[in-house]
């Protein structure tokens, strides 16, 4: 009886092992099929012109909200008291132009966005890429199974004397450097989260402040309540997903960029195009030479012109790289240049209107 029961148990164990083996094989096949579909989907996003245009249009409603609303408050925060010399406006405009050109356009659009992880962007994406090609993580992700079950590859080889190989050896040499890198990544992520909390409040509050231009007697409390209601409404819509939110806001943001760019072009035509000399970087040097310490402190206001730039890279998981690049270079960048140049032309002639110059410059 004991031998018979042992035989039955052994047969049941073999059958269970066989079933588990079959399940493992089925799971591996499903993972391989899913990885293949992901690769095909990413390839389609790169090659389909219609899909590219659609994603570029949708990205306007998600990625560029912060950059698009910056003209509401940049010049006011750059000159919080008064404009002493009209040439200061030209210097500030020159700083804004080259800030937009160097950071969002050249750095993010043409460099940082290409450092993506199969379409994924963000601070942890860069850290993941580093961990894949260098042993800088406590829990390694360089197993062969990781490469088989996902769409990435860690087979990149560096020349032994190259800068990348030297950096890799330098990072791997000391545990302190690995921990410092992780802390730096977490710090950068915290900054992005903080920016995501503060920037919408600043943007919406600045936009609501435009009501005081039409109704000067309106109290600040009413402006604050309007801003809170708008923010609650905006954040309550997030759970509908990126696709629906982007389709809702993309036409609004596109109309915003076209309108602000048009207003800027009108002000350049009406008040003179002399401010366009700000495209020469010489006026940056003259700006700092003339204003000295005040010029350096005013950089806090200039930096507001590039708030939200990190979204170009962080939101790549929702849109393709080509879509983000297309939307920025064709729509966002030229419209922002026109908007800031138009405000500068207005302030060059009416420096006493430095409070709410965006609304005052509207014809």
Q: At 147, which helix (H) or strand (E)?
A: helix 144-149
Q: Report how far residue 332's alpha carbon sits from residue 143's, in angstroms, rounded to the nearest whole number.
A: 42
Q: Evaluate whether 302 touches 100 at the Cβ level (below 8 Å).
A: no
Give the model's pLDDT for residue 89.
92
Give the model's pLDDT for residue 339.
95
Exposure string (b/e) for 113-129, b if CB count within 10 Å is 16 or more?
beebbebebbbbbbbbb
Give the model's pLDDT for residue 362.
87
Give the model's pLDDT for residue 43.
46
Give the model's pLDDT for residue 29.
57
Q: At 298, which helix (H) or strand (E)?
A: none
3-class secondary-structure state, position 302: helix
Give the model's pLDDT for residue 269.
94
Give the model's pLDDT for residue 361.
87
> Which of 40, 49, 91 is closest to 286 using CA atoms?
91
| Terminal CA-CA length for the chain | 100
Give the model's pLDDT for residue 92.
93
Give the model's pLDDT for residue 45.
45
Please name the residue that has the structure tokens 């600040």: 220
Chunk the chain into consecutive blocks of 10 residues (it has 363) and report each block's average pLDDT, rounded to whole numbers.
50 52 54 51 58 89 87 88 85 94 92 81 80 69 51 54 74 80 86 78 78 77 86 81 83 94 94 90 92 87 88 82 91 95 91 82 86
Give the model's pLDDT for residue 302.
92
Give the model's pLDDT for residue 236.
83
Whole-model pTM over 0.85: no
List all residues 6 or more positions away from 312 whose beta carbon is below 8 Å from its beta carbon.
63, 104, 108, 109, 112, 113, 324, 328
Q: What is the phi-psi region of residue 117: left when phi exceeds 0, alpha when psi lies from -120 to 50, beta otherwise?
A: beta
HSE of 277, CA atoms in CB hemisphere, 13 A: 12
268 CB-contact burial (10 Å; exposed 0-12 / middle 13-18 / buried 19+): buried
């Amino acid at each position: 009886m004991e031998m018979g029961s042992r035989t039955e148990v052994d047969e049941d164990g073999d059958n269970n092992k066989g079933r588990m083996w079959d399940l493992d094989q089925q799971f591996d096949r499903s993972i391989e099929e899913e990885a293949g579909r992901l690769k095909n989907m990413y390839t389609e996003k790169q090659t389909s012109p219609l899909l590219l245009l659609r994603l570029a249009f949708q990205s306007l409603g998600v990625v560029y909200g912060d950059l698009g609303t910056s003209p509401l408050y940049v010049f006011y925060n750059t000159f919080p008291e008064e404009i002493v010399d009209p040439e200061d406006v030209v210097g500030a405009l020159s700083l804004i132009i080259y800030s937009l050109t160097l950071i969002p356009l050249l750095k993010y659009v043409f460099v940082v966005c290409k450092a993506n992880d199969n379409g994924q962007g963000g601070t942890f994406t860069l850290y993941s890429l580093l961990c894949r090609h260098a042993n800088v993580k406590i829990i390694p992700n360089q197993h062969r199974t990781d490469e088989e079950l996902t769409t990435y590859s860690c087979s990149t080889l560096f020349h032994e004397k190259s800068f990348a190989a030297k950096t890799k050896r330098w990072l791997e040499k000391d545990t302190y450097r690995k921990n410092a890198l992780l802390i730096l990544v977490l710090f950068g992520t915290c900054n992005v989260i903080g920016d995501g909390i503060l920037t919408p409040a600043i943007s919406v509050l600045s936009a609501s402040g435009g009501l005081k231009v039409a109704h000067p007697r309106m109290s600040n409390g009413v402006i604050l309540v309007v801003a809170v209601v708008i923010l609650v409404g905006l954040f309550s819509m997030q759970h509908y997903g990126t696709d629906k939110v982007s389709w809702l806001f993309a036409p609004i943001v596109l109309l915003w960029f076209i309108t602000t760019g048009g207003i800027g072009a009108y002000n350049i035509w009406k008040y003179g195009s002399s401010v366009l000399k700000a495209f020469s970087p010489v006026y940056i040097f003259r700006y700092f030479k003339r204003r000295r310490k005040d010029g350096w402190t005013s950089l806090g206001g200039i930096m507001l012109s590039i708030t939200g730039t990190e979204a170009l890279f962080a939101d790549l998981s929702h849109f393709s790289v080509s879509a983000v690049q297309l939307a920025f270079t064709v729509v966002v960048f030229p419209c922002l240049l026109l908007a800031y140049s138009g405000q500068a032309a207005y302030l060059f002639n009416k420096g006493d209107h430095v409070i709410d110059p965006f609304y005052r410059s509207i014809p």
